[in-house]
Structure 1
Amino acid sequence: MRNICAIIVVFFMACSIPGYAQPRHSFALGDSVFLLDNRPFQMICGEMHYARIPREAWRQRMKMAKAMGLNTIGTYVFWNIQEPEKGKFDFSGNNDIAAFVRTAQEESLWVVLRPSPYVCAEWEFGGYPYWLQNENGLVVRSKEQKYLNEYKQYLMALGKQLAPLQVNHGGNILMIQVENEYGSYGDNREYLEINRKIFQKAGFDGLLFTADQANDVARGFLPGSLPALNGIDNPQRIRQLVRRYNNGKGPYYVAEWYPAWFDWWGSPHHVVPPEKYTAQLDSMLSAGISVNMYMFHGGTTRGFMNGANYNDKSPYEPQISSYDYDAPLDEAGNATPKFMAFRSVIQKHLPPGQTLPDVPAAKPAISIDDIQFRETTGIFNILSSPKINQRLLTFEDLHQAYGFVLYRTKLNGGAKGKLAVMGLRDYALVFINGRRAGILDRRLGDSSINVEMPQGSVTLDILVENLGRINFGPYLLNNKKGITQKVLFNNQELENWQMFSLPLDDINAIKRSAAAKKYTEAPVLRRGNFNLVKTGDSYLDMSRWGKGVVWVNGYNLGRYWNVGPQQTIYVPGEWLKPGNNEIVVLELIKPQQAILRGIEKPSLSN
């Protein structure tokens, strides 16, 4: 009897584990449609990224996806958060991609997985970990052996997490993308075939696909894998392109359909009215085309993980922290007019007898009374031991991924002239004997200032911020940070540098001390507290501040900058608590600013 009871207990425990002993499904390519268990299946998919949403809110966002009519969600997998340092993998907390996929299964949602090592996604380095640049000779997106070795190690680790969650193993992952818009970068079919074999060796034995912009699909498709399309919504053109590169057959999948767009610092906030896209969505669904909205829900690019655009024809453009994207679901996870308009379209295409769940009410939002900062620490007071070298070292040389580096040297004063920082990546505050002498900004092409050195020994400090590595285009291999060349004063190279790393990856580990009075206009860390009776989403109003980063209860919420368009920082209610909450602000250019409040609505435009 005891043995029988034990068996019953084990059985019920097993059945309660998400994904355990789930029925296996088949997912295949028909001549014109996807076949799920041999029946036609049209994916109505929306992109949302696990790393841009608090883990505590994953399920709420998925319920919203169901309420709009989605049956599938798409997500990238970001190599640089899963393997932040070489050989050190992290699948915990918000990085637990397998838990994200299992949560989707519990919410009866299928998943399209996009773990191709390169993701773009307005994400730092297009998803590549910074340390790849320290591997001598390594060339990303190529057949170069060092790259393939690192790529393979990462995919093997990822396969252990996700391969069992494929639909043919009882999971909910329908398809896996093996490269991302490769046709806009290269056309090496052998490289793509190597990709496919690595994925298969890692256990991804389900349906594989590529995705390219319509004009690039000829360069980026991989024979034998479905050629999905991006940035197109004309059903006739979609059919023509897919048939051309898929042996005259379908099915037809738009892997990225853009009902909105992203923002970068110094640009206007992008807003696209829903009525501009409802007809296109209706026509694609009417034609039986499967669609993935990029983005259904953008969320927030927290910490230092935003990417940047740059090419020969445009300036360096780092993206903002808000990834609201003017998506159907806003940054906090609430339905927008676009959500309701798309829901109405999708309702028309539901199978007979099927209805959509009610749209959940908007999440509660709160204001936060003026926060008084009672503790201030000058950034020059938190410096650790420097690295000393005759020449300048980059972030990568210092084995530092993100954040800031302070470069310091001494020189004889009594002269004035031009101070030039060659190869600045990306933003710098220049101090002479502790007084701010100027600001350099890669976006604007600023690389030099005129200065006057006082008599005697002069201390020159250059505080450099990594504003985000390029995530798209040919400059992926030119992505080192810091001062990447040299510093000249009146055309003479300055040498003998001290370099202080300031990654700010653990704000609670920063030592506290009083601000040093000798530093004028130097950046400061301000700490404060605020008490809440109830929690809810809030938006910190940074419109009177200058430039910096905000942490609440230890979470890095992202950057702010008075160049706009973003004027607020989203604070997820899930990360607040009744009673005492702690806030830390790093302010770079307005150290005198000391009052901050939270408001109930975001401001994403100047």
Structure 2
Amino acid sequence: MKRKLNWNIGGILFVGLSLMMLAISCKAKKEMLSHSFALGDSAFLLDGKPFQIISGEIHYPRVPREAWRARMKMARAMGLNTISTYVFWNLHEPEKDVFDFSGNNDIAAFVKVAQEEGLWVILRPSPYVCAEWEFGGYPYWLQNEKGLVVRSSEPQYLSEYKKYINAVGKQLAPLQVNHGGNILMVQIENEYGSYGKDKNYLALNEKMFRDAGFDGLLYTCDPAQDLAKGYLPGMLPAVNGLVKPAAVKKLVRKYHNGKGPFMIAEWYPAWFDWWGTPHHTVAPASYAGELDSVLSSGLSINMYMFHGGTTRGFMNGANDKENTPYEPQISSYDYDAPLDEAGNPTEKFRIFRSVIEKHLPEGETLPPIPASKSAISIADIQLTKRTYLADALPEPVKADTPVTFEDLHQAYGYVLYRTIVDGDKTSTLKIDELRDYAIVMVNGQPQGVLDRRLGQNTLNVQLPAGRDTLDLFIENLGRINFGPNLLKNKKGITRKVLLGGQELKGWSMYKFPFNNVNDFKWKAVNGHNRGPVLLQGIFSVNKVADTYFDMTKWGKGVIWVNGHHLGRYWSVGPQQTVYLPAEWMHTGDNTVTILEELKDNRRVVHTIDHPILDSLQK
């Protein structure tokens, strides 16, 4: 009995010693993998040695998760050593206190894939991102918190912001370079100097980031003309848009105790598009000299964008600046970037690669450029099923006056507003503060549209004798993502509706958020001219490859394939195609669903093997 007891004690001691040695070994291994990243007087210091950041922006939600690694291999092949990404609050907390870091929202997995591919990461969790993204990244429900003011020290905002950044910190703080990860540095706020100048608010940002576990290098970024308002004393100020090395150095030294390092946080070798305006392109040769000059001067740089991808779902933003019209952005975020919308290298990619190659350390070479993806056109797809939205109305919300999307607790999509009016006349309909696009129907028959982009808010309507049903099918075209009107971002009918100068009362609101398209009941296609319609068809492929739906002859709407929301189309252009990545197709049968708002007589959809991003139509 005594001998057995001694053996048990010895066994326990042995196991305990083994566990202790394992813990020490793991800690030593972690310390060995950890790096230091710091500010030198003129350069960044990685493990004490000068390090020039050559970075490109890629946003994880704009690329299918299945394609993240392929895009990063392209980044390495062009010569990038770092990628940069925003973190999008409205994706990760779509409803208050409901967090989502799964699937395409798994930002931690995105960062880890970058590390596996030999790339460092610059993280930009702001929480305001701009980025041509819905509400600049803010979740819609913030507008339901009475008195909440974004980008301010208002207590409710700070409370919600803190919950968000703590959730992000749990995902990403362990992946910082000083903890064995690959996140070199983290940006607080985002071009704040273009919006405000409250240094106390910026200091609160820094504290919340530190409290969330971001204990590495923090920095700010602002356009040159706004840097004085947007930088935080003691923190590295990075510059956006300025490319002359001498000017960058002079500006940074002015606000950073006469020292560097020097970082162009956003260099724009291209630009984004919005509906109804020409596609933006920039000749790559004109920007090669800029890139060469920056790298020759030892400055670090982040090109916005290296790869844009696609703004899927209803997540595009909009501009609405003083003395300019409302400008909702298109779904394609091709951006005329070095990698095109599908992730293929362009002439710009090859020219930039040749510039970067000139500045590689001696003995270092770039990996070969991966092959471009194949693209196909598929035989015409017959749309054999349909359902008019008028036949698929959900339970209504009733109110005396119209209710906004936010008050209906609906983030995106559409709402059908219905009321009953006296007919036997022609009268002028006016929507006060339409946001953003309305299809006007009387007794189920479309009579016209109103478009906020064009400043339209009135329409003459024909009302037959008797009591008539007036329907207003309202679309959220994207909340403003930049400027002071961030605080004026509610959607739907935000004030009132007048008919012949008289305010209309007694409304029923039918919600169509289109979170999925599986709940609709389908019928065989027949009839037409009854307003917005869902159409569905099946197509088969023997081999998956990228393709593009050619919507040139269609009107306006949205496309889903196999449940994936691919984005919007609109005949006004410049985008006329909708990109379907191969990663979201499968061999055999695939299901395409189309919401067509204007031309309900469409029965066939075509695909082609290339995008059309530069065609405007009246």
* TM-score (norm: length of structure 2): 0.94
CA distance in 2, matches of 1:605, 1:22: 51
Q: Deviations over 1:7-44 (max 9, x none)?
A: 99x99xx99xxx97871100000000000000000000
| Counterpart residue number, 1:121 | 131
Of 184, 191, 196 in structure 1, the residue corresponding to residue 194 of structure 2 is 184
Of 582, 596, 608 in structure 2, the residue corresponding to residue 573 of structure 1 is 582
Structure exhibiting the larger radius of gyration computed from Cα positions: 2
Preserved CA contact (<8 Å) 2:423 2:466: yes
| Counterpart residue number, 1:396 | 406
CA distance in 2, matches of 1:560, 1:22: 51
CA distance in 1, matches of 2:497, 2:517: 30
Are residue 356 (structure 1) and residue 366 (structure 2) matched? Answer: yes
Are residue 70 (structure 1) and residue 87 (structure 2) matched? Answer: no
CA distance in 2, matches of 1:369, 1:20: 54
CA distance in 2, matches of 1:21, 1:379: 60
Preserved CA contact (<8 Å) 1:539 1:598: yes
Q: Deviations over 1:288-343 (max 9, x none)?
A: 00000000000000010000000221000000000000000000010000000000
Instruction: For 1:374-385, list aligned pairs within 5 A.
Output: 374-385=384-395
Q: Deviations over 1:250-277 (max 9, x none)?
A: 0000000000000000010001010110
CA distance in 2, matches of 1:299, 1:510: 30
| Counterpart residue number, 2:331 | 321
CA shift for structure 1 position 442: 0.2
Are residue 111 (structure 1) and residue 100 (structure 2) matched? Answer: no
Of 582, 586, 600 in structure 1, the residue corresponding to residue 609 of structure 2 is 600
CA shift for structure 1 position 47: 0.2
CA shift for structure 1 position 451: 1.4
Instruction: For 1:34-73, list aligned pairs within 5 A.
Output: 34-73=44-83
CA distance in 2, matches of 1:417, 1:311: 33
CA distance in 2, matches of 1:549, 1:20: 48
CA distance in 2, matches of 1:379, 1:254: 49
CA shift for structure 1 position 516: 8.8
Instruction: For 1:162-201, list aligned pairs within 5 A.
Output: 162-201=172-211
Are residue 306 (structure 1) and residue 309 (structure 2) matched? Answer: no
Instruction: For 1:82-121, list aligned pairs within 5 A.
Output: 82-121=92-131
Preserved CA contact (<8 Å) 1:515 1:524: no
Are residue 547 (structure 1) and residue 556 (structure 2) matched? Answer: yes
CA shift for structure 1 position 514: 5.9
CA shift for structure 1 position 507: 1.3
Of 382, 385, 397 in structure 2, the residue corresponding to residue 387 of structure 1 is 397
CA distance in 2, matches of 1:22, 1:331: 39
Preserved CA contact (<8 Å) 2:384 2:525: no
CA distance in 1, matches of 2:174, 2:473: 46
| Counterpart residue number, 2:6 | none
Q: Name the SS of the counterpart of 2:272 in structure 1.
A: coil
CA distance in 1, matches of 2:219, 2:505: 51
Preserved CA contact (<8 Å) 2:385 2:525: no
| Counterpart residue number, 1:251 | 261
| Counterpart residue number, 1:499 | 509
| Counterpart residue number, 1:342 | 352
Name the amino acid aligned to 1:291: I
CA distance in 2, matches of 1:559, 1:146: 34
Instruction: For 1:109-508, list aligned pairs within 5 A.
Output: 109-508=119-518
CA shift for structure 1 position 381: 1.5
Name the amino acid aligned to 1:416: T
Are residue 533 (structure 1) and residue 542 (structure 2) matched? Answer: yes
Preserved CA contact (<8 Å) 2:378 2:607: yes
Name the amino acid aligned to 1:584: T
CA shift for structure 1 position 510: 2.7
Preserved CA contact (<8 Å) 1:378 1:514: no
Name the amino acid aligned to 2:595: L
CA shift for structure 1 position 373: 0.5
Q: Name the SS of the counterpart of 1:558 in structure 2.
A: strand
Figure out how many residues of one structure are paired with residues of the other and give that number: 596
Q: Deviations over 1:59-91 (max 9, x none)?
A: 000000000000000000000000000000000
Of 557, 572, 575 in structure 1, the residue corresponding to residue 566 of structure 2 is 557
- Unaligned segments of structure 1, at least 5 residues: none
CA shift for structure 1 position 521: 4.0
Q: Name the SS of the counterpart of 1:62 in structure 2.
A: helix
Q: Deviations over 1:220-267 (max 9, x none)?
A: 000111100001100000000000010100000000000000000001
CA distance in 1, matches of 2:334, 2:392: 34
Name the amino acid aligned to 1:295: M
Q: Name the SS of the counterpart of 1:295 in structure 2.
A: strand
CA distance in 2, matches of 1:33, 1:370: 56
Q: Could you say what the CA RMSD is over the residues aligned between the two structures, in angstroms?
A: 1.7
Name which of structure 1's ranges 407-416 and 76-85 shifts more when overlaid on structure 2: 407-416
CA shift for structure 1 position 382: 1.6
Q: Name the SS of the counterpart of 2:188 in structure 1.
A: strand
- Unaligned segments of structure 2, at least 5 residues: 1-10
Which 4+ residue blocks in structure 1 deviate beyond 2 angstroms?
A: 19-22, 509-517
Q: 1:20 to 1:533 in 2, by over 3 A?
A: farther
Q: Deviations over 1:464-503 (max 9, x none)?
A: 0000000000000000000001000011000000000000
CA distance in 2, matches of 1:507, 1:114: 33
CA distance in 1, matches of 2:524, 2:384: 11
Name the amino acid aligned to 1:583: V
CA distance in 2, matches of 1:21, 1:401: 45
Are residue 524 (structure 1) and residue 533 (structure 2) matched? Answer: yes
CA shift for structure 1 position 176: 0.3
Of 520, 535, 543 in structure 2, the residue corresponding to residue 510 of structure 1 is 520
Q: Deviations over 1:500-530 (max 9, x none)?
A: 000001112233346795x734111000010
CA distance in 1, matches of 2:45, 2:154: 37
CA distance in 2, matches of 1:396, 1:172: 39
Q: Deviations over 1:427-484 (max 9, x none)?
A: 0000001111110000001101011211111100000000000000000000000000
CA distance in 1, matches of 2:383, 2:401: 39
CA distance in 1, matches of 2:143, 2:520: 28
Name which of structure 1's ranges 51-60 and 379-388 shifts more when overlaid on structure 2: 379-388
CA distance in 1, matches of 2:79, 2:382: 45
Q: Name the SS of the counterpart of 1:544 in structure 2.
A: coil
Name the amino acid aligned to 1:559: R
CA distance in 1, matches of 2:91, 2:32: 29
Of 571, 592, 597 in structure 2, the residue corresponding to residue 588 of structure 1 is 597
Q: Name the SS of the counterpart of 1:451 in structure 2.
A: strand
CA distance in 1, matches of 2:588, 2:359: 47
